[in-house]
Amino acid sequence: MKLQQRFMLYTCLIVLISIFIGFICSNFIYNHVVKEQMNDRYLVIAEQLSKQIKEHEITLRASSDFLQTMSDLGYQIALVKEDGEMKMFGEPFKTKKWNDQMHALFEGEKAYNGIRSFRNSYLIMSHFANDIKNTVGTKIEIDGEEWGLFLRPNNISFFTEFHLIIFGFIFAVFVSSIIGILFMSRKVTQSLSELTSATQEMANHNFQYPLMINRKDEIGQLADRFRMMQQKLENTDQARKKFVNNVSHDFQSPLLNIRGYSELLNGEISSSEGKKYNHIIQTEAKRLSNLTKQLLILTSIDQGTYPTNKQIVRVDEQLHQVVHSMLWRIEEKGLEIKLDLQPVSVYADRTLLINVWENLIGNAIKYNKEFGEISIHCNENESEAVVTIRDTGIGIEQHTLEKIFERFYRVDQARNKEGMGLGLSIVQEVLSYHNASIEVESNEKEGTIFTTVFPKK
């Protein structure tokens, strides 16, 4: 889950929990404070109505008109005789069943405090129960007959214009808060996304990536520290590349001298053991010489100082050339090679591209089984050129596939023959230099497939 989504989820959860806590608190206040006050207030109103009717000796018909007028002002009123006869004014009660406290009015009780004692549930929603028991009442005499006068506020008229205004206010605050939280979370996550992109670019050795975060808070401080780290890593990387470049240059001359004098000594040494040692010197000198050449190529591409010489190159001809130059190695191992090379042209550096094919085909030979097979296929369409090199060798373990393009990484001792773990790094760097890509598929003891894709544009 993304940070912004998580932030919004947590915000909604906090709002819901706050609403729940507020609901519990409002219920507590209603049941222990508000109900008492409401009961007393409406009981006073009921007693005043009873007093008015008694003082003015209003008839039952006139009382009915008077009570109907009162119901229009926002009350539910019921006149009830002890025998159960009932007259209702305003919205009728949905539940009309009496209880013992209501009967007590006709047995000498002065008042009925139903709002205070009504318990439909321990929730504020009991306030809206349309039940005759959820009222206050008093005894009244009309035309010489005893009636019980029961009263409560009308639920429909409870929502007045003022309540609508309050509801609109709360709704507007809620929506505005959600929009504000969404906007602020986007601002925060946008900065974090920029930091993530910058981190990814640094992982790809792009230390010049501009980090456009200018804030004065903790994220701004993090961005400032990140830029400091970026600058220091860039300086370290430049120093490392310069050191490797200088060392590689300095190594070339003495290595060439060692190889040259070793070849001269080969004719002067008569013993077989001496020739064996001399051959080892030549092999190791050649190996170090190849290593320094590869390091020079890598550092030149890294530093952008490689002399660009791009032109139209026939990939199929280069593949034929590399296979022909390695034919003796192929025959020595008894390998079968299959070529399906359609005419393919790309805009590239000829020397660098030859290095790619030498590394890939060389690995296909080196790590193949005896009497195995190598298949090389290339073709093109309007958008891209594709070269596939497949072998039937020892394969690569799945958990190491992501690391084979790292510099100086070697899978295991079985694959360390004469290599220094730079070949595939050079392949990837050269292809990136040409905006091309490479993919690898491999199964242990079955073989490996390298697929390179060049965009035609």
**Contact, 198 vs 230, CB < 8 A?**
yes
Asked if pLDDT for residue 413 goes beyond 60, the answer is no
Q: In what order do the strands lie in the sheet with 86-89?
A: 86-89, 75-80, 145-153, 136-142, 111-113
pLDDT of residue 288: 76
Burial of 401 (0-12, 13-18, 19+ CB in 10 A): middle
Beta-carbon count within 10 A of 159 CB: 11
Classified as helix, coil or strand, 408 is: coil
DSSP 8-state code for residue 89: E
Judge whether residue 420 has pLDDT over 70.
no
Model pLDDT, residue 245: 64
Query: pTM score, two decimals?
Result: 0.47
Q: 125 in helix, strand or coil?
A: helix
Single out the residue of 269, 244, 298, 251 nearest to residue 407, CA to CA.
298
Q: How far is CA 104 from CA 68, 110, 266, 353, in A?
A: 26, 9, 130, 106
Cβ-proximal residues to 108 (8 Å cutoff; 6+ apart), any chain:
none
The reported pLDDT for the residue numbered 342 is 93
Contacts of 175 (CB under 8 A, 6+ apart): none
Range name among 181-185, 291-295, 394-398 with the lowest pLDDT average: 291-295
Write down the pLDDT at residue 30: 82
Q: What is the pLDDT of residue 336?
A: 93
Cα-Cα-Cα-Cα torsion 391, 396, 402, 403, nearest 10 degrees, comes to -110
What span, in angstroms and rounded, lies between the C-alpha atoms of 134 and 315?
A: 93
Residue 58 phi, psi dihedral angles, 5° rounding: -75, 135
- In degrees and rounded to multiples of 5, residue 132 shows phi and psi of -65, -25
pLDDT: is 299 or 312 the higher one? Answer: 312
Place of tokens 């981190």: 199
- Region 396-417: what's the mean pLDDT? 71
Higher pLDDT pick, 257 / 13: 13
Burial of residue 371, with CB atoms counted within 10 A of its CB: 0-12 exposed, 13-18 middle, 19 or more buried: exposed
* Average pLDDT in the chain: 83
Class (C level, CATH) for 307-455: alpha beta
- State residue 313's pLDDT score: 93
Question: Mind listing the pLDDT tens digit for each residue in 56-70?
Answer: 878 888 888 888 888
Contacts of 87 (CB under 8 A, 6+ apart): 64, 78, 79, 80
Nearest to residue 135, comparing CAs of 123, 149, 150, 120? 150
Percent of the chain with pLDDT over 70: 88
End-to-end Cα spacing for the chain: 38
Which two structure tokens, joined as six digits, stand for 427? 């392949």
All CATH 3.30.565.10 domain ranges in the chain, comma separated = 307-455
414 pLDDT band, cuts 50/70/90, is very low
d(CA 102, CA 115): 12
Write out the two tokens for 147.
Answer: 């009636």
Q: How far apart are CA 341 and CA 186, in angstroms?
A: 52
Residue 215 CB burial class (10 angstroms; 0-12, 13-18, ≥19): middle
Note the pLDDT tens digit of each residue in 321-373. 999 999 988 999 999 999 999 999 999 988 889 889 999 999 999 999 988 99
Give the tens place of pLDDT for each residue, 150-182: 999 887 766 666 667 777 888 888 888 888 877
What CA–CA distances, in Å, run from 180 to 8, 91, 174, 183, 214? 11, 43, 10, 5, 21
248-266: burial string, b at 16+ Cβ within 10 Å, e else: beebeeebeebbeebeeee
Task: List pLDDT tens digits, range 93-103.
Answer: 888 888 888 88
pLDDT at position 122 is 58
Retrieve residue 156's tokens: 């429909």
Q: What are phi and psi of 380, to 5 degrees?
A: -150, 160
Is it the case that residue 205 has pLDDT exceeding 80? Answer: no
**The two structure tokens encoding residue 167:** 């509801």
CA-to-CA distance for 88 and 81, rounded, in angstroms? Answer: 12
